[in-house]
Structure 1
Amino acid sequence: MIAKNETVDPEHGRITTRQAQLFSMASTSLDTRWQKSAINTLIVVHRETFNTHTEKTTTDTSYYISNQKVSSAKQGSELADTIRKHWGVESNNWILDVTFNEDNVLVKNGNQAQIMAKLRCFSANLLRWSGAKNFQQKIEEFVDLPETLISTLKQVNFL
């Protein structure tokens, strides 16, 4: 084992403990098709999540490979943190799909898809900035009370 990293995050009614172990794959014999891939590190992430509402604990283990060479605990910690941040991106994609039904939006003309994607990201960021715990509920509030939306847009200097 090259490095080990442990983090504890109390968020959203859950306490998640993550332990990342990093292993060198330099001496590993890879299949021919993978020999030029520059695989250097295996990262094993063990997660234990305690749900404070249900008082139940779940565990899971995920495996990642990287072409980054890790030679210190600091580099190992940075790589484990990168994996954690990746899930933040995945979470954001899930929010865009569920809240804005992004996967079912069909646009074909010019740069319409890019413009719509930017508008959805702006909207999600606006909802985050407003402190919304439930995005759908906040959107409905904006629809029912347009002055709330206008006030929020003014607060972020959009209007």
Structure 2
Amino acid sequence: MGIERPQEALARLGARTATAFGIRIAPSTATIRRIINAVCPGGLADLLGYDPADADTLAVDGKSARGSRVEDSPAAHLLAAITGDGMTVTQLRVPKKTNAISCFADLLSPYDLRGVTVTADALHAQRDHARFLVDVKEAHYALTVKRNQAGLHERLRTLPWEKVTAKYFDRTLGHGRKETRVVQVLTVDDLDFPHAAQAACIVRHRTDLKTGKRSRETVYVITDLTSQEASPQRLAKIVRSQWVIENRLHFVRDTAFAEDASKIRTGHGPDNMASLRSFAINQLRTAGHTNIAAGLREMSYDTFRRPLDLLGLN
């Protein structure tokens, strides 16, 4: 049985037959490493990704693969896009001597985003990004604005928030803290930002349940969605969807797959391994697993069959 099961698995994987006895031979570790380092990462990410056409929201954010850093080169920084329900669409590696801003359009260009609302952190509160999303992709945006856009941030800060009547209150409990959010929304038409229709001021009050320490944070958001398209409640949900990429992708790759501890550094290895991890997460979620670590344990109970069943390899 110990021989039959690996042979069955190798047959399902399409391994070559190398002897007159019909024994299938697994590729060597060196061969697998060489392929992972050499395969085009953009092609692999798109091949293994998820079609966002039916998504409501799409979050964009970056993560560095810390273990890929070498003395004369920084860690690989990977920009990814994930749907609101936690499915990774694609990713790309930010080239050296550039930043994630210049990669934003390249990341999203291949996809039909009509009607999808794209969220991103303050780094991407760029006028060119807004034009690209609305004019080129026929999508929507909800972008966080911080002091890196000083003029825009000051304009938002000084809007007449004290007169706002469109408000939404939300309370959550989790991750060892209690959080209350107050969302205020104003219609705007003079922000000097492409297609901006509404601005939101979100005040977050947090209490650490262990220490009792309290904190307050104020965040500003701009969107092209009109008041008819996005109420304060819906806008709050859209803004919170940005955290999906951290909680359901980056955190999972770090904890379930120990990504930051990986010492894969050469060639396209860091990019391609990240794509394979994201693909595994997508497949487990599609199969109904809400806890990825538990899903991986379940796969490990029958190493030569369950993962292949999950992938539909017969």
Q: In which range does the TM-score fall when normalised by the shorter chain?
A: 0.5 to 0.7
Matches within 5 A, 1:85-100: 85-92=241-248, 94-95=250-251, 96=253, 99-100=258-259
Aligned partner (choices 164, 168, 177) of residue 5 of structure 1: 168
Which one-letter code corresponds to 1:46 in the other structure? V
Q: TM-score, normalised by structure 2?
A: 0.35
Give the superposition deviation at 1:84.
0.7
> Relative to 1, partners in 2 of residues 1:152 and 1:100: Cα closer, same or farther, differing over 3 Å?
farther
Partner of 1:42: 199
Which one-letter code corresponds to 1:82 in the other structure? I
- What SS does the aligned partner of 1:85 have? helix
Higher normalized contact order (CA 8 Å, seq sep 6+, divided by chain length) = 2
In structure 2, list runs of 5 or more residues that go unmatched: 1-163, 285-289
Superposition misfits of 4+ residues, deviation over 6 angstroms: none
Deviations 1:9-44 (A, max 9, x none): 101111111111111112x3x44xx3xx11111111
* Matched-pair contact (CA < 8 Å) for 2:203–2:216: yes
Give the superposition deviation at 1:75.
2.3
* Matched-pair contact (CA < 8 Å) for 1:22–1:44: yes
* Matched-pair contact (CA < 8 Å) for 1:5–1:19: yes
Which one-letter code corresponds to 1:42 in the other structure? A
- Decide which structure has greater helix share: 1
Aligned partner (choices 184, 199, 213) of residue 21 of structure 1: 184
Q: Distance in 1 between matches of 2:201 and 2:242?
A: 15
In structure 1, list runs of 5 or more residues that go unmatched: 133-138, 143-147
Q: Distance in 2 between matches of 1:64 and 1:121?
A: 28
> Relative to 1, partners in 2 of residues 1:82 and 1:152: Cα closer, same or farther, differing over 3 Å?
farther
* Matched-pair contact (CA < 8 Å) for 1:130–1:152: no
**What is the root-mean-square deviation in Å for CA atoms of aligned residues?**
3.7
Q: Percent identity?
A: 22
Deviations 1:101-121 (A, max 9, x none): 28x855438xx94x5234222
Of the two, which has the highest radius of gyration?
Answer: 2
